[in-house]
Amino acid sequence: MSNGKKVLLVDDDRDLVDILTLVLEGAAYEVRRAYDGPEALATIERERPDLVILDVMMPEATEGFHVVWNLRRREEPYFRSVPIIMLTAIHRATPLRFYPDAGDGTYGAGEYLDVQGFVDKPVEPDALLKEMERVLAAARGP
Amino acid sequence: MVDPQIPESPRALPATEVLIGRIRWLVRLRWVAVAGSLLFIDLAGRFLPIRLEEPPLLIVLALLASYNLGAELLLARLRRDALARGNGDRGPEQVGRLAHLLLPKTPPGIEYYDRQAAQAAVLASVQIALDLCFLAGLLHFAGGVENPLWVFLVFHVIVASILLSTPATYGVATFGLVLMAVVALGESTGVLPHHSLEGYWLPGLYRDHALVGAQVFLLGVTLFTAAYLATSIAGRLRRREIDVVVLVHHLEKKAEHLEEAFQDVQAAERAKSHYMRKVAHELRVPLGTIKTALNVALRVAPGSMPQQTTDLIHRAERRAGELAEMTRELLSLSLAKRGEAVQEPVPVQLGEVAQAVMEEMDARAVDSGVALSKRIPETLPRISGSPEELADLLRNLVGNAIRYTPSGGSVELRMDVEGDEVMVEVEDTGIGIGEADLPRVFDEFYRSFQARQLVPGGSGLGLPIVKAVVERHGGRIVLESREGKGTCAKVWLPAH
């Protein structure tokens, strides 16, 4: 049973990946898994998922960000447009800047990493599913 | 407790300069002596019943004046050399043994390292010796032993005590005494001609050996007493000077130690903060996973588990959530308390940050039955800082207000410009903070009695985070509260 959407889950916490796989498969998504940045990139190239759910991969590394930057710098439109949801609460807890330059030198609220959604950790399954639906709907576009 | 090994800071110049300054003073004094002598000779001729042989006296004074001119020139050269030495910063030169004998003891650390000091010492000693000779010459032509002004030798002894070492001062006293003895004995034995101070002593009395001997003896006593008194006073003053130098050094050392201790404390604080951050990170990940796992378990539970089990899982999930929240706050706090300024501050439109935070908080306010409102002007000056931390600040203030306001109450966020600051105000109609608790609510982990009553779980880290963020942004915070009426938190942040 699949709703046709292929989702890649990336987190270095294997337990969490397993748990979320249960949730996503319960919601009829087709789930792929990866546990670090390089594996994630390889899987994205191979599987071309419709959505990537990406952990920032704390504590020290920001491997998740590098995955985003790596993808968005590529030529092929797919890599630049595949929707990404970041699993993190660090946009509140760390000084890493998630706020875009609004064009006038002002930083306001918003995401400056080119990702389409955020889900706070600890992950609430409902919140994740809701955010996934939102992002996928937006990706289908007008 | 004073370290006797005082630093070898090459402060050679001041000691030399002090010495040269004192020699200048001596040279000036000599001009006064020349002028005073001329005036005295003139006045004595007019008003005293004595007869002075003016021509030889004037010749001696003329010689004294020209010698003083020479001294001026030598001194000027010495000063120039000393200054050049000071600027040139060559390595220390040890002064010779002679100079060491002549110069007064210096405070430790202030040494006469350079050749100019030795030259100055010799110059001073030679001058004092010459001065004695000139005084002896003047007195020889003005009555010899009859002249009461032999006592002026005391002045030279005092000058010597100021400029030179204690042995050198006694040397000066001895030399003065020898000079008078030579003059007095020479005149009384006829080896030297006697220029009588007519009208002061009885004629011929200068040949009375007993009387002359008594005069010389009295002068000796006077000179050595003067030497003793002057050197003890000068010595005492110098010891005080040494004490001051040692004390200053001691204080400098103390200040250094304090500075080091302060750095250590700061380093310890940073290490603690780093440790806290590390622990919070490590705790957060598994806690989050536990919470999510329990949450998922509850989703699949209906029907498959007894009610009792789901209740237990519910509780576990809630407590895991509290723990996760607490580690998040610990992380925030440790980040905000790193004790450094905000890295890469950017101009932040606080109104927009507030907008986002208010949207986040909306659901919580609705759940708690609290009316959430805001009054933010269209345009606000920007703040230079970290948008994430400022969002955290607002989130904590508004979150606290909602948490501690019972259902039916209200929370309002207001912003305004006050001078060159942006004022942020969060006012609630909540339970308030007791007067006794108010000063302590910024303490980490502290929770007021009322807060614990209303909300049992809670980290007590919200306000410390707020305070740390405010401080990192160069702002200030004031908390006003009335128990049972509500709380108003006011923050001022400097505009960009």
Name, in order, each residue with C-beta under 8 angstroms of B325's C-beta and a sequence gap of 6 or more.
Answer: B459
Which candidate from B289, B332, B347 shows the least CB-CB separation from A93? B332
**Average pLDDT, rounded, for chain B:** 84
Q: Pick from B276, B296, B318 the residue to mutate for testing the A interface (most A CBs within 10 Å).
A: B296
Is B70 part of a structural domain of the chain?
yes
Is B215 part of a structural domain of the chain?
yes
**Average pLDDT, rounded, for chain A:** 79
Determine contact: A32 vs chain B, CB below 8 A: no
Mean pLDDT on B219-233: 94
Is B228 part of a structural domain of the chain?
yes
Structural domain span for residue B472: 341-494
Per-residue model confidence as pLDDT tens digits over B172-183: 999 999 999 999
Name, in order, each residue with C-beta under 8 angstroms of B289's C-beta and a sequence gap of 6 or more.
Answer: A13, A15, A16, A19, A122
Into how many domains does chain B fold? 2
Closest residue of A to B291, CA-based?
A122
Determine contact: A26 vs chain B, CB below 8 A: yes
Which candidate from B287, B300, B332 shows the least CB-CB separation from A122? B287
> Are the beta carbons of B428 and B480 closer than 8 angstroms?
no
B13: confidence class by pLDDT, cuts 50, 70, 90:
very low
**Do residues B255 and B345 share a domain?**
no
Mean pLDDT on B207-211: 85
The letter for the amino acid at B233 is: I
Mean pLDDT on B122-144: 89
Residue A109 in this model has a pLDDT that exceeds 70:
no
Determine contact: A124 vs chain B, CB below 8 A: yes
Residue B18 in this model has a pLDDT that exceeds 70:
yes
Across chain B, which distance is largest between two alpha carbons, in Å?
145
Residue B380's domain is classified under what CATH number?
A: 3.30.565.10
- Type and span of the H or E element at B348: strand B346-348
**Do residues B97 and B213 share a domain?**
yes
Mean pLDDT on A5-18: 92
Is B275 part of a structural domain of the chain?
no
Q: Which range is most confident: A103-107, B284-288, B303-307, B410-414?
A: B410-414
A75–chain B nearest CA distance, Å: 31
- DSSP-assigned letter for residue B95: P
Dist. CA A106–CA A109, nearest whole Å:
10
- Token output for B169: 């001062």
Helices within B89-198 (DSSP H only)? 97-102, 115-141, 153-163, 166-188
**Do residues B103 and B249 share a domain?**
yes
Residue B169 in this model has a pLDDT that exceeds 90:
yes
Determine contact: A100 vs chain B, CB below 8 A: no
- Type and span of the H or E element at B493: strand B486-494
Dist. CA A98–CA B464, nearest whole Å:
24
- pLDDT given at position A121: 81
**Do residues B241 and B359 share a domain?**
no
Mean pLDDT on B147-162: 90
Residue A61 in this model has a pLDDT that exceeds 80:
no
> Are the beta carbons of B295 and A124 closer than 8 angstroms?
yes
- Token output for B495: 């505009």
Q: Could B348 and A107 be called an inter-chain contact, meaning their C-beta atoms sit closer than 8 Å?
A: yes
- Cα angle, residue B464 at apex, residues B463 and B465 outer, rounded to 5°: 85
* Residues forming a β-bridge with B385: B346
**Do residues B48 and B143 share a domain?**
yes
A contacts of B320 (beta carbons < 8 Å): 122
Which candidate from A58, A94, A96 shows the least CB-CB separation from B285? A58
Burial (CB count within 10 angstroms: exposed 0-12, middle 13-18, buried 19+), residue B344: exposed
B15: confidence class by pLDDT, cuts 50, 70, 90:
low
- pLDDT given at position A72: 83
Mean pLDDT on B449-478: 85
- pLDDT given at position B318: 87
Is B233 part of a structural domain of the chain?
yes
Q: How far is CA A112 from CA A100, A115, B150, B172, B456, in A?
A: 4, 8, 97, 88, 37
A76–chain B nearest CA distance, Å: 33
Looking at per-residue confidence, does B446 or B229 come out higher? B229
Dist. CA B361–CA B398, nearest whole Å:
8
Dist. CA B257–CA B378, nearest whole Å:
53
Q: Give the position of tokens 């994430």.
A: B388
Mean pLDDT on B151-162: 91
Domain stop point among B226, B259, B292: B259
Per-residue model confidence as pLDDT tens digits over B410-419: 999 999 999 8
Q: Crossing angle, helix A125-140 and helix B209-300, to 10 degrees?
A: 80
Is B5 part of a structural domain of the chain?
no
- pLDDT given at position B278: 81
- pLDDT given at position A136: 92
B48: confidence class by pLDDT, cuts 50, 70, 90:
confident
B143: confidence class by pLDDT, cuts 50, 70, 90:
confident
Residue B3 in this model has a pLDDT that exceeds 80:
no
- pLDDT given at position B51: 76
Q: How far is CA B228 from CA B57, B163, B168, B225, in A?
A: 32, 15, 12, 5
Domain stop point among B259, B291, B313: B259
Q: What percent of chain A has pLDDT over 70?
A: 75
- pLDDT given at position A101: 39
B contacts of A91 (beta carbons < 8 Å): 388
Looking at per-residue confidence, does B101 or B435 come out higher? B435
Per-residue model confidence as pLDDT tens digits over B251-300: 999 999 999 999 999 898 888 888 887 888 788 888 889 999 998 888 87
Q: Is B302 helix (H, G, I), strand (E, B) or coil?
A: coil
Residue A91 in this model has a pLDDT that exceeds 60:
no
**Do residues B350 and B245 share a domain?**
no
- pLDDT given at position B6: 45
Looking at per-residue confidence, does A124 or B302 come out higher? A124
Q: Which of B110-124, B127-141, B357-371, B429-443 has the lowest mean pLDDT?
A: B110-124
B249: confidence class by pLDDT, cuts 50, 70, 90:
confident
Domain stop point among B259, B277, B294: B259
Mean pLDDT on B35-55: 84
Q: Could A16 and B289 be called an inter-chain contact, meaning their C-beta atoms sit closer than 8 Å?
A: yes
Is B217 part of a structural domain of the chain?
yes
**Do residues B198 and B51 share a domain?**
yes
- pLDDT given at position A6: 95
**Do residues B356 and B243 share a domain?**
no
Q: Pick from A23, A53, A94 the residue to mutate for testing the B interface (most B CBs within 10 Å).
A: A94
Looking at per-residue confidence, does B273 or B486 come out higher? B486
How many interface pairs between A and B have CB atoms less than 8 angstroms apart?
Answer: 107
Residue B386 in this model has a pLDDT that exceeds 60:
yes
Is B286 part of a structural domain of the chain?
no
Chain B residues bordering chain A (beta-carbon distance below 8 Å) = 278, 281-282, 284-293, 295-296, 299-300, 320-321, 324, 328, 331-332, 335, 342-344, 346-349, 352-353, 355-356, 382, 386-389, 391-392, 395
- pLDDT given at position A76: 92
**Do residues B226 and B355 share a domain?**
no
- pLDDT given at position B5: 46
Residue B442 in this model has a pLDDT that exceeds 80:
yes
Residue B62 in this model has a pLDDT that exceeds 90:
yes
- pLDDT given at position A100: 39
pTM of this structure: 0.55
Dist. CA B103–CA B490, nearest whole Å:
69
**Do residues B249 and B355 share a domain?**
no
